[in-house]
Structure 1
Amino acid sequence: METVPTGSASAGGERPTIPLPTSALVRISMFWLGLTSIDAVVGAAIQSRIKFEHLVEIGTEGTSLAFVGALQFVFSVAVQPTVGSISDYATTRWGRRKPFIVAGALFDALFLIGIASANSLLAIAAFATLLALSTNVARGPFQGYVPDLVPQKQVGLASAMVGLMQVLGNVLGFALAAIANTQGSVGLAILAVATIELVTMLSVVLRVPNGPPAKSREGRSWLSIAAETWGTDILRETSYLWLLASRLLILMGGAAVLNFVFLYLADAHGLTQAQAGGAFLNMLLAATLVSLLSIVPAARLSDRYGRKPVIYVCTALGGIGVGLIALAPSVLVATIGAALFGASQGTFLAVDWALMTDIIPRASSGRYMGLSNVVTASSTTIAVIIGGPTIDFVNGTYGIGAGPRFELVLGVGYFILGALLLRPVREPDRRSATVDQAAIAA
């Protein structure tokens, strides 16, 4: 396994100064491909199995999705930042992050097999909850790698790589789920992403440097370290807190689409399982092409003009795209809306990560990035908990099809609120940071 070059980073919180080759930035981001493909395929698979395999009573599909999401929420909130904080202090021959990544990925594969083979809502919910536990054990520590290893002048590019891998992971997961729907079997898609995650995990563990040394525990117990995650000192980081709130709402806008897309296509447009799978593939292709085209330009623009202006543009694109899907009279119009939504997601994933990396304390990156991804995971859960019962209620009151459309209108509102909550965030001056890093390197 590789190690960090001497002087490239330290446990004291200084930003690394040695530039990394592009291949190293790709490897650092690679595990995101596996993680996000799991999120995508599991969410889509649970939707499909509940809707088309009749695991629940008709008219309760949305509430059933909310039930599964609520169970996952507890582990998303509690586990990820706590394990991320613990990893800041972990001293092992593999560095402070990798043991958690390996353990989490191995258990992910086991629980994914359970979801694929489950035959009831209760069994699916149980394995999905266990998956939330294991995947968050891996995510919290993994997110510390960009602050650990990437110098300031490469943060924009590294964040673009993270965004690219997240987009590709979503595309891969949703595409596998859509293809599986056309064939009437989503279990194979779940097994495929289990393999993909294990491969990307090995790419990180075997090829990415270990990172800086762990922080000293100074005699404290691991229980004390875990409790530190939730210390009130974080309340002093006001820009970080506002950015978390903004990220939550913006991601909820995306979750309002992705977590109910098969209910939307089936109820609002009257499609069968196979037709919904084909229609979603077209929407996914449109969103993917635009998203991939937007990632690198968005990162470069954010380096030049600032992160916040680019995120404002992304929220506008997202709101317009989701609104168009909500009101679409045909699948073709919904596909155009999906393309605008894709531009929003590509922009946001590239730039929000960079802004988060800019403002967090370096030495505790595992803790802060773990907390930030609690928001990422919680956005899906909260959107499902709100949207699921809303769909069932509106469908029951105004007719099948009205519910998913109304839920998408809520998604537009989430984008608007996310933009408003971004305003108090104080963005660091990257020009002065670059000068400082040049002086340190000299």
Structure 2
Amino acid sequence: MHTISNSAPTLRPINYVNLSILGFGLAAITTSLGQIILPMRVLDIAPEALKNTYLGILTFVGMATAMLVQPVMGYLSDRTKLSWGRRKPFIIVGSVLAIPCMIGIGLSGNYIWLVITTALVQMSANLAQSPYDAIVKDQVPQNLRGKVVSTRAVAGAGGAVTFVLLTGLLMDQHKVTVHDIWLWLAVSLPMGALVGCMIWTAVTLKDNQTGFTYSRSESEIRRHDSHPQFPWLLAAGFFFMVAGGILQTYTLFFLKDVVNLENPGAALGILAVVVGITILLCLMPAGILADRIGRRPLLIFSAIIGSSGTILFFFASNLIHVILIGIPLGIAVGIFMTAGRAMITDMVSTKWPAFQMGIANLVLLGGLATAKLGGIAIDALNRHGDNLGYHVLVGICAISFLIGAVLICTIKNENAQTVHRFKSEL
């Protein structure tokens, strides 16, 4: 039986670690795989003239697998009624299954086998993802979800950066077409990180409906279905991801062909560092603000500053301009990663949180996948004007941010309890 209380529940620092550490392991394995291990394995297997095609197909298969698996596993997790919980089984099984799948990637001697094992790794990792996402809805009171989400984002960023660096250093020593010790170390380290984080989570997670004792808000008690405006939030998230996907995918070519930088790869690397540092600096403050003033105003601000930062690309003419552009883009992404995820968590059903988190992730990945099609438009439009395709795509990116802001503006009463509590404290 749920009770209504005006008291403000709290979490200890160790609770934040327990709720977030699996994100470190999941990011370690998926990011190092996508950015380092798979491209190097493609070089081992693919003909030189087809390496980009092979990698593109491989990446698409992995993304499609993630999109399909997450809602299915979320649905099954929500319906699971085992004595040891409804989230733990999927987290444990997914992490354990990743071990032979990662070994399979190391053993792959032909492209078909590499595609199959890549899909299996994505299936295993995403078997755990939706149940892991739903834990916040299960166990964290609404007024603390922003901070928990920001902690998870920091953990994920830490796992991604750490293991991209480690696997990159190891694979630099790897000799193409040879199954050497460097390849196996690169495969084993992120695999070990995921298993270690899984064990920590399985031991510390109190996997019942509400692992922490807290009083749900009256609106949450009465609402077992998702928020009626949840589809509008997903639509906004889709456009945010379209914009982010365009920037992530085509910035290198834009810097080379439009800005005419001599070393676009180095410039992109510096831009990525600036964006990454800005994101990390924004995560915790954005999470705290999201809990205090609500998610919606932060998301609207994020969209506006993201659109403004994108428009600045039209005026970039040197490396300094590019570096400065990274600051508003980092702020926009950092806020979206916290306030957006917290708002999604607030709005999903209390009865089917993992399933609806899976649907949300499917929509967000769909936005990212849609952005990948922009390359076709760039090449087609460039044939009709000097760099016309790039300028049109940057414009689409800026407009996508603003469409997201408009859709967020249509959502009412997204976090009434948190806003009311904040006003009462003033």
Query: Shorter-normalised TM-score: what interval?
Result: 0.7 to 0.9
What amino acid is the match of 2:19?
I
Q: Which stretch of structure 1 is more off in the superposition, 343-352 or 32-41?
A: 32-41
> Aligned match of 1:345 in 321, 333, 339?
333
* 1:297 pairs with 2:288: no
Q: 1:170 to 1:119 in 2, by over 3 A?
A: same
Is the contact made by 1:39 and 1:173 (CA closer than 8 Å) also made in structure 2?
Answer: no
Structure 2 counterpart of 1:209: 206
d(CA) in 1 for partners of 2:390, 2:100: 33
What amino acid is the match of 1:132?
Q
**Alpha-carbon deviation of 1:250?**
0.8
Is the contact made by 2:92 and 2:198 (CA closer than 8 Å) also made in structure 1?
Answer: yes
d(CA) in 2 for partners of 1:424, 1:198: 42
Report the TM-score when normalising by structure 2.
0.77
d(CA) in 2 for partners of 1:14, 1:39: 40
d(CA) in 1 for partners of 2:135, 2:5: 14
Q: Percent identity?
A: 23
Deviations 1:255-314 (A, max 9, x none): 223345666678776888xx94x6555333322221121112212222333211111121
Structure 1 counterpart of 2:67: 77
Structure 2 counterpart of 1:95: 85
Structure 1 counterpart of 2:276: 288
SS at match of 1:20: coil
Q: Which stretch of structure 1 is more off in the superposition, 18-27 or 351-360?
A: 18-27
* 1:27 pairs with 2:18: yes
What amino acid is the match of 1:133?
M
d(CA) in 2 for partners of 1:190, 1:332: 37
Q: 1:16 to 1:326 in 2, by over 3 A?
A: farther
> Aligned match of 1:255 in 241, 245, 248?
245
Counterparts of 1:211-360 in structure 2, within 5 Å, are 211-212=208-209, 237-259=227-249, 276=265, 280-324=268-312, 328-360=316-348
Counterparts of 1:348-387 in structure 2, within 5 Å, are 348-384=336-372, 386-387=373-374
Is the contact made by 1:315 and 1:416 (CA closer than 8 Å) also made in structure 2?
Answer: yes
Is the contact made by 1:31 and 1:197 (CA closer than 8 Å) also made in structure 2?
Answer: yes
Is the contact made by 1:291 and 1:346 (CA closer than 8 Å) also made in structure 2?
Answer: yes
SS at match of 1:243: helix
Deviations 1:156-204 (A, max 9, x none): 2212212322333443355456656876889565543323222222221
Aligned residues: 401
Deviations 1:406-442 (A, max 9, x none): 655543343233222222222130248869xxxxxxx
Is the contact made by 1:66 and 1:388 (CA closer than 8 Å) also made in structure 2?
Answer: no
Is the contact made by 1:16 and 1:149 (CA closer than 8 Å) also made in structure 2?
Answer: no
Structure 1's unaligned 5+ residue stretches are: 1-6, 215-232, 436-442
* 1:422 pairs with 2:408: yes
Q: 1:199 to 1:403 in 2, by over 3 A?
A: farther
Deviations 1:319-365 (A, max 9, x none): 34445467644455433333332222211111112112222222321
Structure 2 counterpart of 1:199: 196
**Alpha-carbon deviation of 1:43?**
3.1
Is the contact made by 2:302 and 2:333 (CA closer than 8 Å) also made in structure 1?
Answer: yes
**Alpha-carbon deviation of 1:367?**
1.8
d(CA) in 2 for partners of 1:82, 1:110: 22
Structure 2 counterpart of 1:224: none
**Alpha-carbon deviation of 1:89?**
2.4
Structure 2's unaligned 5+ residue stretches are: 176-181, 212-223
SS at match of 1:30: helix
d(CA) in 1 for partners of 2:384, 2:104: 36
Is the contact made by 2:85 and 2:207 (CA closer than 8 Å) also made in structure 1?
Answer: yes
CA RMSD of aligned residues (A): 4.2
Deviations 1:358-414 (A, max 9, x none): 222223212222222222333333322x13444565678879x98777655543343
d(CA) in 1 for partners of 2:94, 2:166: 22
Is the contact made by 1:249 and 1:417 (CA closer than 8 Å) also made in structure 2?
Answer: yes
What amino acid is the match of 1:382?
T
Q: Which stretch of structure 1 is more off in the superposition, 138-147 or 278-287?
A: 278-287
- Where relative contact order (Cα < 8 A, 6+ residues apart) is larger, the structure is 1
* 1:37 pairs with 2:28: yes
**Alpha-carbon deviation of 1:206?**
1.6
Q: 1:97 to 1:288 in 2, by over 3 A?
A: same
Q: 1:244 to 1:65 in 2, by over 3 A?
A: farther
